[in-house]
Structure 1
Amino acid sequence: MSQRPKRVVLPPAQENIEKIEKVLNDGNSYGAQQMYKSICARYVSAQRYSEALDLLQSGACLQLKKNQITCGAELAALFVDTLVKGKIPYNDESLGRVRKIYELFPQIPVKHDLGLDDDVQELAEALGAAKIRVECCSSFLKAALRWSVEFGAPRLGSPEIHVMLAEYLYSESPELDMARVSYHFVRGNNHIKFASTLVNFMSKCYPSEDDLAIARAMLMYLSMGNLKDANLLMEEIMKHVEAEQLEFCHSDLMQFISYLLQTLQRDAFPLFSMLRANYKPSIDREPAFNELLDEIAEKFYGIKRRNPLQGMFGELFKMM
């Protein structure tokens, strides 16, 4: 008669945390990584999710502190995966654990202005390293957003995690994409930090880009029906501009945004349409603005967007 295999008794997670930390401190990052993954899998298999999370959080933080970005990011991803497997609710405690890992992703400003005598290879390596950091941190935070939606956060994901992602993309991306940064800020809950970021961007972008960045942010808020935060953002931007004695861009596009904010406080769709027509050249500076304005018309005035395909097929039927 065959004997059943003995069930492995797992020690408290802290014992393994201390054991693996010693391996990592001895310089064996790869060996420690394999231990984190294999031992964590045992706790998950035993449905001891809390201890698995302790182990993974400790490992991710330690690897990131030692600048082992890919190792730390892998453990951070496993941490989020375990949040999902353990059906851990989104609350202040679990959000705080995500934040602790996020704050240890290195933030190293990329030097773009190397002189003629500097090594071009040095710049290429710095940009490559920055790209890896951004990809690793973004993957972790996007996974955390998906978890948050499933386990108790608002429909669009944790506002706090959106702000973390926006901050990291702005500070670390070697190729700055303000549309992507703004996408996450408008789903966040910190218009003060958003305003500070936009004003900082204004100080270093091309003169023709500053009003586009502000208009994009405002239209993104409004396309979600969020007139309150759009107004708060504009007020905060003006406070920063005044405090720092900066020159604010008074372009036609900014004039349009000012009138739009006033118009949306009233049931005045004809005025909304007139504004779009009068400021069409300014709006057309960025193709996405017209789509955002269509969404705004739907949110504030119930005007359904016309499907371009319907128009095309309608013309075909007329011809036939």
Structure 2
Amino acid sequence: MARERPKRGTLPPPHETIERLEKSASDGDFYGAQQIYKSISARYASAERYGEALDILQSGASVQLKHGQVTCGAELAALFVETLTKGKFPCNEDTLDRVRTIYRQFPQIPVPQQLGVDDDMQKLSEALGAAKIRVEGCSSFLKAALKWSAEFGGPRNGCPELYDMLAEYICSESPDLDIAKASIYFVRGKNPAKFASELVNFIEKCYPGEDDLAIVRAVLLYLSLGNMRDANYLMDEVRKQLESKELELPDSDLIQFITYLLRTLERDALPLFRVLRQRYKSSLDRESSFKELLDKIAERFYGVQRRSPLQGMFGDIFQMMGGAD
């Protein structure tokens, strides 16, 4: 007896759609499969059958990414998170595991760092372009997931594990690593050991003068969040990993400053904190963000109220006009 076909306007069982589209993608019809993934999942979502929409979108994202269709996969991954939000799914271990599953499907392909004499420049250019697409696609997916996690039961600033995923993918896939951006995500994660490893990798490859900036920036970011434990751990771990490679911490005034700062913050020593800032001002001026980070640290550890940017701007104007003491 032939199976009865669904009536017009009714939704087919999701497993049938998933099986059919997996075969379509395996046969190379990625574009056609993409359109159906989107249209069918949208119909389920419109019917408020969000769980089934998620099943289709998760399968679609995984299938497309597995076949190297990063743009298509990232689009479906973003729709997956959008559906989590529409369906008000809580940030718990089950939903996070689904996010992890999609994340693991994003390709991880080492980008050539150096050119040889016989390298094909066209292939290198294509590899760099593909890496940029991977990073942008995965970043968009994880940033959306962070926003969802913050809204539906996760920590106020988003799930730490998602920050780690984002930072690690940027480090592994970016053709031109922005260690400052990765650092911002790492310090909101929960894996300072991995962060230390990425810093050491960066130190081995970076230009002179970038190594101490990267270390100090990382420690100040942790401290600006009030996280003394991981700030100290990071310094110790970077030192250990460098020693294991028969390398040393950069010998610079900035490294001296951060070493003294960590000791100072262990006690009630606001005057010493201010002395350190003044004494190492010329070194700290090497990066504009350090002033703002140190202002945040002063507020967190010593209760020093920060001026808003607007107050600071007008304060400087009044000083120039002789209106301030």
TMscore range, shorter length: over 0.9
Which runs of structure 2 are paired with 1:1-320 in the superposition (5 Å)? 8-306=9-307, 307-315=311-319, 318=322
Alpha-carbon separation, structure 2, partners of 1:51 and 1:129? 32
Query: Within 1, Cα distance between the matches of 2:111 and 2:23?
Result: 33
- Does the CA-based 8 Å contact 1:112-1:123 persist in structure 2? no
Aligned residues: CA RMSD:
1.8
Residue 103 of structure 1 aligns to a residue in which SS?
Answer: helix
The one-character-per-residue Cα deviations of 1:130-183 (angstroms, maximum 9, x if unpaired) are: 111111111111111111110011111110000000001111112211110000
Range moving further from structure 2, 306-315 or 9-18: 306-315
Give 1:239 deviation, angstroms: 2.5
Alpha-carbon contact 1:170-1:176 (below 8 Å) kept: yes
Q: How far did residue 313 of structure 1 move?
A: 4.8
Q: What displacement does 1:275 show?
A: 0.6
Unpaired runs of 5+ residues, structure 1, are 1-5
1:308 alignment partner AA: G
Distance 1:216 1:14 in 2: 49
Deviation, 1:117, is 3.6
Q: Which amino acid aligns with 2:285?
A: D
TM-superposed deviation, 1:283 = 1.0
**Residues 80-132 of structure 1 deviation map (CA, whole Å, 9 limit, x = unaligned):** 00000000000111111111111111111111322344332222222111111
More deviation, 273-282/306-315 = 306-315
Between 1:257-266 and 1:202-211, the stretch displaced more is 202-211
Distance 1:215 1:209 in 2: 10
What stretches of structure 2 of length at least 5 have no aligned partner? Answer: 1-6
Offset of residue 72 of structure 1: 0.4
Distance in 2 (alpha carbons) for counterparts of 1:41 and 1:131: 29
Displacement, 1:27?
Answer: 1.4
**CA distance in 2: counterparts of 1:7 and 1:79, whole angstroms:** 26
**Residue 88 of structure 1 aligns to a residue in which SS?**
coil
Q: CA deviation at 1:9?
A: 3.3
Q: Offset of 1:221 from its aligned partner? A: 0.6
Tell me if the contact between 2:239 and 2:248 (Cα under 8 Å) persists in the aligned partners: no
The 2-side partners of 1:210 and 1:97 are apart by 37
TM-score, L = length of structure 2: 0.92
Distance in 2 between residues matched to 1:252 and 1:316, nearest whole Å: 31
TM-score normalized by structure 1? 0.94
Greater mean deviation of Cα atoms: 122-131 or 308-317: 308-317
- For residues 174 and 138 of structure 1, what CA distance do their matches in structure 2 show? 14
- CA distance in structure 1 between the aligned counterparts of 2:129 and 2:280, rounded to whole angstroms: 41
1:317 positional shift: 6.9
3-state DSSP class of the match of 2:119?
Answer: coil
Contact kept, 8 Å, 1:185 with 1:194, in 2: the verdict is: yes
Q: Distance in 2 between matches of 1:245 and 1:315?
A: 51
Alpha-carbon shift at residue 315 of structure 1 (Å): 3.8
Once residues 214 and 124 of structure 1 are traced to their aligned partners in structure 2, the CA distance between those partners, rounded to angstroms, is 31
Q: CA deviation at 1:243?
A: 2.9
